[in-house]
């Protein structure tokens, strides 16, 4: 297993739709193992393949939940069905998200409280489960990565403006920028 550098916003693979996984083979299993290793080293609750520079439709997660879903897993070629997203302002204390590809920053964002996730595991076996609360948030966040969206792309005007300013001040937004979990300082202070 190998820990990979995490790409930072501005890297092209983060901003385009990822390709469908076509082969459920040893190479995919190795990629999944590397993603778990990288996610763990970064103290993440999820990691999408584009975040390590691989433009394929899969993500790993590690999140305890009340939905009867194993707390650690991978979803390959997912589809997601969402409940309604409230039009209310996001709560800056209760609905704050961060992202390993926008290291160290966190902003409030409304998400659906329910999601149905369908896809496959790394062996090609079908998955079909429901996620609620924060687990649903994790599923939506990681799924967005596969469509070339970061959570900051979904922020309302107030928070989006702040995020763009932070990104500009950090010098991000261009290709070639990464951070290395386990080597570079943890941007979220874990």
Whether residue 99 is annotated as binding a ligand: the answer is yes
The one catalytic residue in 11, 37, 122, 142 is 142
Whether residue 15 is annotated as binding a ligand: the answer is no
Q: Is the Cβ–Cβ distance between 80 and 61 less than 8 Å?
A: no
Whether residue 4 is annotated as binding a ligand: the answer is no
CA atoms within 13 Å, Cβ hemisphere of 139: 33
Residue 122 corresponds to which tokens in the numbers above? Answer: 């790394």
Candidates 32, 35, 9; CA nearest to 144 is 9
Q: Is 81 helix (H, G, I), strand (E, B) or coil?
A: strand
**Chain centroid to CA 66: how far?**
20
Candidates 33, 46, 48, 50; CA nearest to 135 is 46
Q: Is 11 annotated in the active site?
A: no
Give the angle subtended at the CA of 124 by the CAs of 122 and 128, to the nearest 5°: 95
Candidates 91, 181, 78, 79; CA nearest to 134 is 91
Q: Which residues have a catalytic role annotated?
A: 142
Q: Which residues are annotated as a binding site for Fe cation?
A: 99, 141, 145
Q: Which residues are annotated as a binding site?
A: 99, 141, 145
């Amino acid at each position: 297993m190998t820990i990979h550098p995490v790409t930072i916003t501005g890297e092209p693979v983060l901003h385009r739709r990822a390709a469908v996984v076509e082969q459920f083979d040893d190479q995919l299993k190795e990629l999944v193992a590397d993603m778990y290793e990288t996610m763990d080293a970064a103290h993440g609750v999820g990691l999408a393949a584009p975040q390590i520079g691989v433009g394929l439709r899969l993500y790993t997660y590690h999140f305890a939940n009340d939905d009867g879903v194993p707390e650690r897993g991978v979803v390959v070629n997912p589809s997601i069905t969402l409940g309604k997203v409230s039009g209310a302002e996001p709560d800056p204390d209760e609905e704050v998200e961060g992202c390993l590809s926008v290291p160290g920053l966190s902003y409030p964002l409304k998400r659906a409280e329910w999601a149905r996730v369908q896809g496959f595991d790394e062996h090609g076996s079908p998955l079909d489960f429901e996620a609620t609360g924060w687990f649903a948030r994790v599923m939506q966040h990681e799924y967005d990565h596969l469509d070339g969206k970061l959570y900051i792309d979904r922020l309302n005007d107030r928070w989006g403006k702040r995020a763009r300013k932070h990104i500009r001040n950090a010098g991000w937004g261009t290709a070639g920028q990464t951070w290395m979990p386990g080597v570079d300082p943890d941007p979220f202070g874990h």
